[in-house]
Structure 1
Amino acid sequence: MGSRWYTEGPLRFGLGIENTFVPQGAPGQRPIDEYELTEHYRNWSGDLELAAGVGAEFLRWGIPWHRVNPAPGEWDWDWTDRVIGRMVELGIRPVIDLLHYGTPLWLEGQFAAADYPARVAEYAVTAAERYADLVTDYTPVNEPMIHVLFCGEYAYWPPYLEGAAGAARLSLAIADGFQRTQHGIREVLGERATFVHVDATMRYVGAIDAPEHRENAERLRHQAFLVEDLVTGRVDDRHPLLPMLRAHGADENLLAELRDRPALPDIMGVNYYPRHSTELFEAGVHHAGGFADPRPTRDDGLTGFAETLRTYAERYGAPVMVTETCVTGTAAERIEWLDSSVAEVHRLRADGLPVVGYTWWPLFDMYEWTYRHGTGSREEHRLPMGLFELVEGPDGLERRPTPVAEAFRLRADAAVRPA
């Protein structure tokens, strides 16, 4: 199995380049292409050298589906060829995000299109065939439950479905495409393939047993795992959300197919942000959740971090990887979280938890998704998260190292060459 590189070696240190793509615009809504916003399309070579220079062994990096597949049956791999080739030349292992939200502009209905599952699998298999000699590690869908919430429950991104019916419909569609993607790649790469499933972690704490919150909190706690449960064949007659899926028209044949053809993770990726991953229910206070009326968050720090890693390892029976983490703040705050979270991973490994990788996200700053609904400059939406700061310069964005870059390099180097 290709996953042995992770499971039989030291703790692997990696980075990510933010690759959210929502290319569909609308009145009052700007398209989001993080590679364009961060000027990665132009600076890709230097960006890869930055990652190599701070000791990244692997890089979570996404293919822009909307660019490589500009029309049905048409492909343009020129830019992607150069990036992936250079990544491998630098000795960085690519972990390819195939779907980080956006679909091509020609796919009407996006994730709700009847042919979405077949189209996304076609794209994935085409990529796997093209890069079979260079890439073995794939994430079929990054954060599938965020896809469901943003596109299917909150009506925030295309196709703008809403409520429980939208969430049920998109959960099934995304799970179907996910399974087809993984099985198609497996046919191309065989046992060389490594599948890193990645989901956002959503924790719910506080007055979750209060009468006014109990039912909703229970639903949310199960829903956080829904797509991964569908993908791994866990949604059977005992699953607490099966009645919800059936109530909103789930196709029984599709439910059976999802159970009968599970796509299991070789590594289960956990995206955890201490300041955002835990939502707080308050007794006597009602928040609808989502964007219109968000619940407050609570920073549960290392406690939530360790609990989340254990939960995913136990639930899915696979080694776990920290696939995204950071805090948005000063360099000192970022270094403090880097130090404490890396130390916690080493402690968990010493206790026997199979944590195989640690990913700081992102390599350089990114732009908040609120840019899509804003009117101001991109700088107004910049999030100070990266090892390198993005600074507006006369010729475009400059990448300026922060103290976090050297701190990361030292920890990555120590993992490879322990004292």
Structure 2
Amino acid sequence: MTTPWYRDGTLHFGVGVEDTFVPQERPGERAIDEYVLTEHDVRWHADLGLAADAGAGFVRWGVPWYLVQPEPDRFEWSWLDQVFARFAELGLRPIVDLMHYGTPLWLEHQFAAADYPARVAEYSVRVAERYSDTVTDYTPLNEPMIHALFSGEYAYWPPYLAGEPGLVRMVEQLGRGFVLAQRGMREVLGARGAFVHVDAGMRYAGDLDAPEHRALAHRLRHQVWLVEDLVTGRVGDAHPLCSLLERHGVDGEALAWFAEHAVQPDVYGINYYPRHSTEMLEAGVHHGGGFADPRPVRDDGVDGLIELLREGAARYGAPVMVSETCVTASVPERAAWLGESAGAVRALRADGVDVVGYTWWPLFDMYEWTWRHSTSPREAHRLTMGLFDLVETPAGLERRATSLVDAFRSEAVDPRNRTQKQK
């Protein structure tokens, strides 16, 4: 049997294509589809070529569910067929996001719909079945805690639930869909399937012991891992957030279901952005969190990345990877972070931590999610994050290579990627 890529002793380098899809609109909010905003929907053939030329061995890439399944009983495969054929042509490994925000327009109440878990599982299994000969690596649900916060607690995205009840409702719904999707895809793919679980590496610092923040800080520190703990069967009576779940309707029977049907990651991915991933709590100041009421942040550089990778590896007993990272900054600042973060990952490997992947996110610039709530043109929301800059031209968005392309390629072929101290 062929050794899985995540067991071959190599530090694999890849890139991502930003793939947020929130197609629902309402007054003051326009639909957001990052493939359309970045013109990847029409430039995908060349874009994947850029990823291969930059030295990427894999691409984290998402399926727009709302387009692939435009009606409950109808799937449209033609575009996706072409994209996955291009992956195969280039020898690029797709790690496929099946849910990167946003449900189809026909699914009323979105994630809160009673049939959401079954619907997302059906869609996921259909994708796995159709491409089982060439695509084997999947992320069933990207950043489940960000989903739960934005669609639940913050009421920022559909279905616009709010507070602790909304958060818990989303955690349970997303978790059930996650479990059913992975179990269904495992039946299709068997041992060939590789499931990369990915969540945002959120950290909290500052006045965590201030009386007004103590309960919140307790919840925040543990909810970073909550959905992953739930789907892997780790939430029982002793879990620090068990009482939160039970208080809002996730009872012992529900927890028993998750324990009985638990799914495990083949690789656990951490999305880490040094200038955003560590939020601060200040004594005497209320910060609700989210775009509408952001907390101040602190740049902890590679220290935060190292801490989260170590904890993820220890907590889930699986290989880990940096599934997203970059800084939104000038090219020299981006290059500095590329070198620092890749060096930190290699140091962790030398110390026995089983880090198997590094993902620069994204391949080219993206547009900030605030575009959804704005009337400004897309350029006003461009985030300078990519190996390639996006440049407005009369012919559309030019992908303009920066010096980061060569820097990334050098990191990807570094001979140290093959060395790893054994535990």
Provide the residue aligned with 1:15 in structure 2: 15
Provide the residue aligned with 2:221 in structure 1: 221
Q: Pairwise mapping of residues 18-417 of structure 1 onto structure 2 (< 5 A)?
A: 18-415=18-415
Q: Return the alpha-carbon distance in structure 2 between the equivalents of residues 415 and 171 of structure 1.
A: 41
Q: Could you list the per-position Cα deviations for residues 337-390 of structure 1 after superposition, in whole angstroms to 9, with x for gaps in the alignment?
A: 000100111110000000000000000000000000000100000000000011
SS at match of 2:94: strand
Q: Return the alpha-carbon distance in structure 2 between the equivalents of residues 182 and 293 of structure 1.
A: 34
Q: Return the alpha-carbon distance in structure 1 between the equivalents of residues 128 and 237 of structure 2.
A: 35
Provide the residue aligned with 1:4 in structure 2: 4
Q: Return the alpha-carbon distance in structure 2 between the equivalents of residues 241 and 331 of structure 1.
A: 41
Change (3 A) 1:361 1:414: same
CA RMSD of aligned residues (A): 1.4
Counterpart contact for 2:346–2:416, Cα < 8 Å: no
> How far did 1:415 drift?
4.4
> How far did 1:14 drift?
0.3
> How far did 1:98 drift?
0.3
Counterpart contact for 1:265–1:318, Cα < 8 Å: yes
Q: Return the alpha-carbon distance in structure 2 between the equivalents of residues 366 and 148 of structure 1.
A: 22
Counterpart contact for 2:11–2:418, Cα < 8 Å: no
Query: Would you say how many aligned residue pairs link Structure 1 and Structure 2?
Result: 419
Q: Could you list the per-position Cα deviations for residues 67-113 of structure 1 after superposition, in whole angstroms to 9, with x for gaps in the alignment?
A: 00000110001111101111111010010000000100000010000
Gaps of 5+ in 2: none
Bigger Cα displacement from structure 2, 1-10 vs 144-153: 1-10
Question: What stretches of structure 1 move > 6 A for 4+ residues in a row?
Answer: 416-419
Counterpart contact for 1:95–1:138, Cα < 8 Å: yes
SS at match of 1:356: strand
Bigger Cα displacement from structure 2, 338-347 vs 245-254: 245-254
Q: Return the alpha-carbon distance in structure 2 between the equivalents of residues 2 and 134 of structure 1.
A: 15
Q: Which amino acid is 1:39 matched to?
A: E
> How far did 1:285 drift?
2.5
Q: TM-score, normalised by structure 2?
A: 0.97
Q: Return the alpha-carbon distance in structure 2 between the equivalents of residues 291 and 371 of structure 1.
A: 12
Q: Which amino acid is 2:323 matched to?
A: T
Aligned-residue identity in percent = 63
Q: Could you list the per-position Cα deviations for residues 258-315 of structure 1 after superposition, in whole angstroms to 9, with x for gaps in the alignment?
A: 1111110000000000000001112232222223322100000011110010011111
Q: Which amino acid is 2:122 matched to?
A: E
Q: Could you list the per-position Cα deviations for residues 230-275 of structure 1 after superposition, in whole angstroms to 9, with x for gaps in the alignment?
A: 1100111111211111111225433211111111000000000000
SS at match of 1:268: strand
Q: Return the alpha-carbon distance in structure 2 between the equivalents of residues 142 and 158 of structure 1.
A: 16
Counterpart contact for 2:222–2:240, Cα < 8 Å: yes
Counterpart contact for 1:232–1:263, Cα < 8 Å: yes
